[in-house]
Structure 1
Amino acid sequence: MRNAEVAQLLNEIADLLELKGDDPYRIAAYREAARQIENLTEDIVEVWRAGRLDEIPRVGPSIAAKIAEYLETGRLRYLEELRQQVAPGLVELMQVPGVGPRRARLFYEKLGITSIRQLEEAAHQHKLCQLPGVREKTEENIRRELERLQARTRRLPLGVALPVAERVIALLKDHPAVRRIDAAGSLR
């Protein structure tokens, strides 16, 4: 089933529209259509092939046409155009938990932030909490999430981690207190 894939595309359209400051009703329409498709019990491809996209609640003719285009071609011109209109860094900012489209746009418009590095600098300089609707606690949460994001991306490549793990295992396996030793975590 490709329901989650199509729902994700519609949510991305909604995010990009929100980053652009588009009509809130249009944004809500895309989000609601995405929710309906995500919760659909039938495969969206079968619904499309049967010509029944218009029977899905909250999927109007415009959104149905976009879904059909994507399922027919594997591409969606409208989404590609939106991606061109929005600074790529703004989409990157939304990877930080607590930074949705509205906040990413606010940070961009008020502070010129277009990258995670710039967001981190602004958070450490306490510039975020000076913006309307951003409290100190929110800024603190964003700082914490940025640290978590960095920790996740600091992982070693397998080609580096595996030899290190093998050396550690070789050193420890002969110790009298060790009964069994194996690599664990994502290295396995």
Structure 2
Amino acid sequence: MKTIALIFLSLFLTKSCQAKKEITENAPVTEVIKIKDSSHSEEVTQIKPEMIENKVQTGTKVEYEATSRGFFSKIIFENNQITVVSDRNNPEKGTVVMLTKENVSEISNLIKAVKLNELPNLKAPSEKRMYDGAAHANLTITSNGTKYTGAGFDAGNPPSAIAKLVSKLVSYSEKK
């Protein structure tokens, strides 16, 4: 009888944990802001959080993550928008920045300039992250279903091949 109860309890807890994980991964983003391109007066439509859905990946996705013991920042470019998450315990509480066509075009050109096959081999210009002198940062680009992950670098000091892309992504997190 104890064995049956133990098996039942194990199955119940396993299913319970999987359900919580699905809820977290599909949770809506809580805040949406709009951004205007400084060189143009083009208005950007605002999307309500209830309207945001997890879209099937079409094209390229760029993820920049910087983390240390007391700091966390994750910036995701996908589907013509940038999502900024600053709380590692609540990844669903992020800010969505809707981009203009010019912003998307600029970021797309910066992504095209990166040689994806060389991304994992890029050498970081400094190593302060090794002794907690800087947050550890990484850039991951997913293109056509293939994921290219960088080797890691100090936040604020990326390799020169990805420096413009990283600084552009980080600039959107500073605008919120």
* Structure-2-length-normalised TM-score: 0.24
More helix per residue? 1
* Structure-1-length-normalised TM-score: 0.23
Which one scores higher on RCO, CA 8 angstroms, separation ≥ 6?
2
- Greater C-alpha Rg: 1
